[in-house]
Structures are given as structure tokens and as C-alpha cells.
């Protein structure tokens, strides 16, 4: 079953269903549970689960016999510290942890008060190691306090935790034979794609928050499919005869997508791939779909979470077929307030960056292993007004990951507990009987993602046009409720030239060029 994405209210629900999530974490070098440097034995006893607060691809659980579970971890980089994050268990649990096959000590993961689905907690810390590569062995042993073996879990290990910051990633390079192909973007990451060579183009959302693809097909006879540009199969099309369905809301026929996977040609600007996979929709929700389709550009082929039942998206496919030189899609999105010179328009580019669309250096920021474009950990500061102190709130938030989503119209959605923390930090008034807060109009948030430029990203948290007369405004961010990632969408992303690099697993952020030279295009090299 596949989750499709709506550019409407239904989106948030599917975001939380899709996005694997992160929990409380100290800063440091995170080694996710699926990292090849971790071995779980016997393999048949361990399963990867997505539980509340799971990071990266999910958490490993000892679901099989509990009396013989062993985890062996070889450091991928030198570190003086090691942290184990996992789930506490209410029915007991003890692990013997040995360093370099000696120096063993026991760590309990038993907590009679946990309900078992609380976010991963810090279960063990070892400090004072020599700054080298070490090998850690965790053996699940009998917990004498309950005279039983517990269910051991690994969400992640953290090296040089606590106060260390992750090392910066390496900026990708763009070889001299790099070329790009561009399309004009409509409103908010909407791009014209030509499928099967058929004109007019379909207008689709290039949705960083979705791994799946659907487009209204000419075999959809529903009223809701009419009045749209549709996909018309070319003579070369292949029907893969795989059906994808997704239900929304009450799940009735009016709220269900049905599409069939097909292969056909796709043209982006002046580049055509002879064969890429997408879903030809034969049934769409009747609630009024304004788009002709939703093309997910989340990682599929390049996601690192093992077997995925999604298929490579068109950017990945074009790269794998050698049609583009770099697996990159980049966006120059204007929101209409910029007063750019004539000839300067919003643009999407594949194959590389458009050197005319940005100034200065690109800050390449690290992404986690999962499909979504999610930064695993950042520094976060808040400031209530220009005269108040800047607070480093990083450790006060319990959800360190931020997902970037071109399909989300919101500035910033926070999991409920982090939202409450944020409101307290900036001295918000509320909540009122409708759960609404008023916040100081000058409130800002600053992020630093430990990117190649270590750049700070500062933005207003308030809708400054809504001052109630005493310096209090409506927030532009919102309480996203029962989600486990922070999610930032169009209002944040629009402010930058942004690029998604699939093989490097990095997102690039640069200052947009709003001058006349942005009317031209040339590939960025170097
Ligand atoms: C045990 O779990 C309870 C309930 O979540 C929590 O309040 C408490 O802090 C936990 N104790 C430890 C030592 O982690
Ligand atoms: C477990 O406790 C957490 C709060 O610590 C709560 O959010 C969650 O809903 C609880 N889960 C169950 C299954 O009771
Ligand atoms: C693909 O095949 C299925 C049946 O296997 C059919 O229902 C569907 O309409 C076909 N799609 C296209 C685009 O021909
Ligand atoms: C469909 O297209 C994908 C991407 O090019 C390719 O990997 C796959 O083999 C194709 N399948 C068929 C049956 O043509
Ligand atoms: C980012 O902002 C914080 C808070 O104002 C500041 O302490 C830090 O030095 C800034 N970092 C950079 C690289 O500008
Ligand atoms: C604006 O909102 C703040 C916070 O709720 C409140 O203290 C203040 O009285 C309000 N000002 C006006 C003019 O309503």
C-alpha cells in the first residue's frame, strides 16, 4: 500500500504516517540502527520497527528469543564516548556491555513505569575512552530483579555525544561536463511535465514530502478527473499492472486514490527519459483536486533504509540512466513579493544547480537515511524580541529532526510537546479556549544544521501583520499535534535557492539572486 500526498489538509496525516521519526538526542555523531557497522545476532531474532520516536529508518527490537540477543558495534569514527539510545521495558531488561571484548559493565533498561512506547531514552553512556575506533558488544542477560530476560532494543548509538557537534559534510562537486535542464515553476513547486510525449503538459507538484507519484490518467472516467490535463499513454508505454491505493478521511470511495504503475517517457524542459515509473490514476478523491498530479521527489532509490517498496523517482531514474550528470533537482521559487526585473521567473532545474539563480556559497546540510529529506539534528535558538536574550533551546526540544517539504504550505509544524516548550520560551500568552496562543511579534527562531558553511537560518515565528496593539501577534508556526518530526514547508523554503542531492544525501541552501542576471541559466561547475 502506498501513501499518496495531497496538497491539501489531508497532507499532514500522511506526513506523520510516512515520516520516520526522531526522538530526543544529544548532539553528536549519530549512528542509526541500520548502520552497516552494527551487527545483530542471531539475525532472525531482530526486527526493524518504526515506533514512537524511532530515528533514521527505525529501531531494532529483539522480537525473537530473548536469551541470546547480541549486538556488535564497530565505531565508524574515533570517539572518546559512546551512548546507547533505545526503549526502556517495563518487564525488565539488562545488558552486559563490553568495550573491545573486555571491560564489561551492566546497564539496565528496566523501568517499571514506562508504558513501553515512550520515545527512546539514553540507556547507557561510556566516557573516557581513548580517541580511537572501538568495538562495543551488548549481550542481553538475565535481569535478576525480575528473573527474566528483557526485550533489548537499539534506536541509535551516538559518538562523542553531549557537547560535540557533528562534523560538517563534504560539499558535492559538479564536473565540467555538468549540464542542466530547466522548467518554469508555477505557484509553489508546480512544474509542467510532458508524459508520453503528449501535449499539453501536466501540471504537477514536485513534492519533497512524498516518495510516490500519481497523475490523472485519461482512463479515469470520474467527474473529478475531468477538466484536468491528463496522462495519455504513448505507444511505448508499459503497464506494470501494479495497483496502488490510498484511502483518506473516512476511507470511502470518495476518499480513495487508485492508480496503476506504468512506465513511459517523461520530459523535463529539454531532457527526456525514455522510461520512468509513475502511477496513472484511475480514481481520485472527489474533494476537488486542483493539480493534475503529485510527483514525489523524496528519496526512493537513494534512501538507505533497506528494502523499499517504492520505485526510483524520475530524477533518480534520469541519473541512473546516464541522462543527467548529477542526481540533483534545484528550485528557484519566487513568492511574488520580490519585485524582480522582467524576465526573471521561478524555475526548477535538474542535473545540477543554475549558477544564475544564487549568490555566494551553497550551505550543504546533512540528511538522515530515510526517504524524507530530514535533517537529523540542528542547533535551535529562540529570541522573543530584539532586546531579549537569545536562548539556546536545542536541549529543551525533544524532537531534533526537521523534515523539509515542498508540499507543505506551512512555515513550521511542531510536535505538541515541543510546541508547548516553544510557547513557554518566548513568553506566549495562552492557550485560549480554542488552543490558540498569542506570541511576541518580534519572536524569531534560528537554526544551524551543521552544514558546509555552518550557516544560521533565522526567521520570524509571528505573523507580524496581526499585532493586537500591544506587540502580540498570531504565530506563523503551528502545533502539529501527534507528530514526531518538526516539518517546515513552503514559506521557509521559498526564501532560498534550494537543491536536493540524492547520492550525496545533502540539501543545499543558498541566497537567491534577485537581480536581472537571474533571467539567464548556466550550470554551476566546481
Ligand atoms: C521511567 O519511566 C517513567 C514514565 O515514562 C519516567 O517518568 C521516568 O523518568 C523513567 N525513569 C527513568 C530512570 O528513566
Ligand atoms: C505512553 O506514554 C506517553 C507519554 O509518556 C504517551 O504519549 C503515550 O500515548 C502512551 N502510550 C500508551 C500506549 O499508553
Ligand atoms: C493497467 O492494467 C490494469 C489492469 O491490469 C488496468 O486496470 C489499467 O487501466 C491499466 N492502465 C493503463 C494506463 O492502461
Ligand atoms: C520500468 O522503468 C524502470 C525505470 O527505468 C526500469 O527500471 C524498469 O525495468 C522498467 N520496467 C519495465 C517492465 O519496463
Ligand atoms: C548563530 O546564531 C547564534 C544565536 O544568535 C549565535 O550564537 C551563533 O554564533 C550564530 N552562528 C553563526 C555561525 O553565525
Ligand atoms: C494583546 O495580547 C496580549 C496577550 O494576550 C494582552 O496582554 C494584551 O492586553 C492584548 N492587547 C490588546 C490591545 O488587546
Burial class (CB in 10 A: 0-12, 13-18, 19+), 80: middle
For ligand 1, the distance from its centroid to the CA atom of residue 112, given in whole angstroms, is 8
Residue 43 in grid coordinates:
539475525
Residue 429 in grid coordinates:
500568552
The length of the chain, given as a count of residues? 526
Residue in this structure with the C-alpha cell 541522462, named with its chain if needed: 323
294 to 77, 205, 363: CA distances (angstroms): 40, 5, 28
307 Cβ contact partners less than 8 Å away, ≥ 6 residues apart? none
Candidates 94, 155, 159; CA nearest to 119 is 155
- Distance CA(488)–CA(507), nearest Å, equals 14
The answer, yes or no, to whether any atom of ligand 1 lies below 6 A from the CB of 113, is: yes
Residue nearest ligand 4's atom 10 by CA? 263
Which atom, in ligand 5's list, is nearest to the CA of 458? 2
For ligand 4, the distance from its centroid to the CA atom of residue 417, given in whole angstroms, is 44
The answer, yes or no, to whether any atom of ligand 1 lies below 6 A from the CB of 108, is: no
Which residues does ligand 6 sit against, CB inside 6 Å? 429, 438, 468-470, 472
* 59 sits in which H/E element: strand 59-62
Which residues does ligand 2 sit against, CB inside 6 Å? 115, 117-118
Residue in this structure with the C-alpha cell 501527534, named with its chain if needed: 482
Residue in this structure with the C-alpha cell 510525449, named with its chain if needed: 197
- Distance CA(245)–CA(10), nearest Å, equals 15
What is the Cα Rg of the chain in Å? Answer: 24
Torsion of CA 33, 35, 36, 40, to 10 degrees: 0
The answer, yes or no, to whether any atom of ligand 3 lies below 6 A from the CB of 233, is: yes
Residue nearest ligand 3's atom 3 by CA? 241
Q: Which ligand is nearest to the CA of 458?
A: 5
- Residue-level pLDDT at 377: 85
The answer, yes or no, to whether any atom of ligand 4 lies below 6 A from the CB of 466, is: no
The answer, yes or no, to whether any atom of ligand 3 lies below 6 A from the CB of 239, is: yes
Q: 3-state DSSP call for residue 12?
A: helix
State how beta strands 256-268 and 190-195 pair: antiparallel
Candidates 329, 312, 344, 333; CA nearest to 182 is 329
* Domain range 11-16+174-347, CATH architecture: Beta Barrel (2.40)
* 261 sits in which H/E element: strand 256-268
For ligand 2, the distance from its centroid to the CA atom of residue 486, given in whole angstroms, is 19
Q: Which ligand is nearest to the CA of 261?
A: 3
DSSP 482: S
- Distance CA(256)–CA(377), nearest Å, equals 35
For ligand 6, the distance from its centroid to the CA atom of residue 422, given in whole angstroms, is 19
Pocket test for ligand 3, best of 221, 232, 241 (most atoms within 8 A of CB): 241
- Distance CA(287)–CA(211), nearest Å, equals 22
Residue nearest ligand 5's atom 2 by CA? 456
For CA atoms 420, 425, 431, 434, the dihedral sign is negative
State the Cα angle at 7 between 296 and 297, rounded to 5°: 15
Residue nearest ligand 1's atom 14 by CA? 111
* 139 sits in which H/E element: strand 135-143
Peptide bond just before 282 cis, omega within 30 deg: no
Q: Name the CATH superfamily for 28-159.
A: Galactose-binding domain-like (2.60.120.260)
Q: Where in 63-101 does DSSP place strands (E)?
A: 70-74, 82-86, 94-99
User: What's the topology of domain 348-513?
Assistant: Cathepsin D, subunit A; domain 1 (2.40.70)
DSSP for 159-187, please give it: ES-TT--PPPPPPP---TT---EEEE--S
Domain extents in the chain: 11-16+174-347, 28-159, 348-513
Pocket test for ligand 1, best of 24, 53, 88, 93 (most atoms within 8 A of CB): 88
Residue nearest ligand 3's atom 9 by CA? 219
- Three-state SS across 359-406? EEEEEEEECCCCCCCEECCCEEEEECCCCCCCEECHHHCCCCCEEECC
- Residue-level pLDDT at 131: 92
Fold identical between 11-16+174-347 and 28-159? Answer: no
Q: Which parts of the chain sit beneath pLDDT 50?
A: 1-26
Q: Which ligand is nearest to the CA of 467?
A: 6
For the whole model, what pTM was predicted?
0.86
DSSP for 323-355, please give it: SSSS-EEEEE---S-S-PPTT---EEEESS-BG
Residue nearest ligand 6's atom 8 by CA? 470
- Are 202 and 381 in contact by the 8 Å Cβ rule? The answer is no
Amino acid at each position: 500500500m502506498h501513501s499518496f500526498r495531497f496538497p491539501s489538509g489531508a497532507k499532514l496525516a500522511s506526513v506523520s504516517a510516512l515520516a520516520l521519526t526522531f526522538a530526543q538526542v544529544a548532539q553528536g555523531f549519530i549512528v542509526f540502527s541500520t548502520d552497516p557497522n552494527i551487527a545483530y545476532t542471531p539475525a532472525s531474532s531482530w526486527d526493524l520497527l518504526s515506533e514512537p520516536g524511532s530515528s533514521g529508518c527505525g529501531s531494532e527490537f529483539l522480537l525473537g528469543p530473548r536469551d541470546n540477543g547480541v549486538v556488535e558495534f564497530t565505531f565508524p569514527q574515533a570517539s572518546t564516548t559512546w551512548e546507547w539510545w533505545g526503549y526502556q521495558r517495563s518487564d525488565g531488561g539488562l545488558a552486559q556491555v563490553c568495550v573491545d571484548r573486555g571491560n564489561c559493565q551492566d546497564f539496565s533498561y528496566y523501568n517499571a513505569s514506562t508504558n513501553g512506547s515512550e520515545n527512546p531514552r539514553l540507556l547507557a553512556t561510556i566516557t573516557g575512552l581513548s580517541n580511537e575506533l572501538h568495538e562495543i558488544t551488548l549481550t542481553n542477560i538475565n535481569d535478576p530483579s525480575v528473573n527474566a530476560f528483557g526485550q533489548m532494543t537499539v534506536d541509535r548509538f551516538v559518538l562523542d555525544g553531549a557537547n560535540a557537534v557533528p562534523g560538517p559534510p563534504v560539499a558535492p562537486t559538479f564536473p565540467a561536463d555538468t549540464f542542466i535542464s530547466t522548467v518554469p515553476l508555477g505557484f509553489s513547486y508546480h512544474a509542467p511535465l510532458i508524459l508520453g510525449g503528449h501535449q499539453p503538459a501536466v501540471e504537477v507538484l514536485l513534492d519533497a514530502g512524498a516518495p510516490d507519484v500519481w497523475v490523472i490518467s485519461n482512463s479515469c472516467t470520474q467527474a473529478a478527473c475531468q477538466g484536468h490535463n491528463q496522462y495519455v499513454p504513448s505507444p511505448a508505454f508499459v503497464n506494470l499492472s501494479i495497483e496502488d491505493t490510498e484511502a483518506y478521511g473516512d476511507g470511502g470511495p470518495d476518499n480513495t486514490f487508485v492508480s496503476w504503475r506504468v512506465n513511459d517517457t517523461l520530459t523535463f524542459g529539454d531532457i527526456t527519459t525514455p522510461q520512468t515509473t509513475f502511477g496513472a490514476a484511475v480514481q481520485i478523491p472527489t474533494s476537488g483536486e486542483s493539480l493534475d498530479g503529485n510527483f514525489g521527489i523524496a528519496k526512493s532509490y537513494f534512501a538507505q533504509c533497506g528494502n523499499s517498496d517504492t520505485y526510483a523517482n524520475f530524477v533518480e531514474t534520469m541519473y541512473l540512466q546516464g541522462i543527467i550528470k548529477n542526481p540533483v533537482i534545484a528550485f528557484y521559487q519566487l513568492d511574488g513579493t520580490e519585485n524582480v526585473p522582467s524576465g526573471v521567473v521561478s524555475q526548477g532545474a535538474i542535473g545540477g544547480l543554475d549558477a544564475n539563480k544564487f549568490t555566494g556559497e551553497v550551505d550543504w546540510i546533512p540528511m538522515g537515511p530515510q526517504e524524507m529529506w530530514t535533517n537529523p539534528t540542528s542547533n535551535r535558538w529562540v529570541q522573543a524580541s530584539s532586546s531579549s536574550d537569545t536562548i539556546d533551546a536545542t536541549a529543551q526540544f525533544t524532537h531534533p529532526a526537521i523534515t523539509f517539504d515542498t508540499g507543505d504550505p506551512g512555515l513550521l509544524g511542531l510536535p505538541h510537546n515541543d510546541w508547548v516548550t516553544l510557547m513557554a520560551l518566548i513568553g506566549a500568552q495562552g492557550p485560549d479556549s480554542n488552543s490558540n496562543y498569542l506570541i511576541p511579534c518580534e519572536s524569531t527562531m534560528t537554526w544551524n544544521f551543521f552544514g558546509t558553511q555552518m550557516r544560521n537560518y533565522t526567521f520570524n515565528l509571528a505573523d507580524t501583520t496581526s499585532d493586537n496593539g500591544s506587540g502580540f501577534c498570531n504565530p506563523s508556526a503551528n502545533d502539529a499535534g501527534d507528530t514526531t518530526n518538526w516539518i517546515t514547508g513552503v514559506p521557509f523554503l521559498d526564501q532560498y535557492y534550494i537543491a536536493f542531492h540524492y547520492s550525496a544525501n545533502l540539501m543545499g541552501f543558498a541566497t537567491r539572486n534577485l537581480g536581472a542576471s537571474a533571467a539567464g541559466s548556466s550550470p554551476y561547475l566546481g
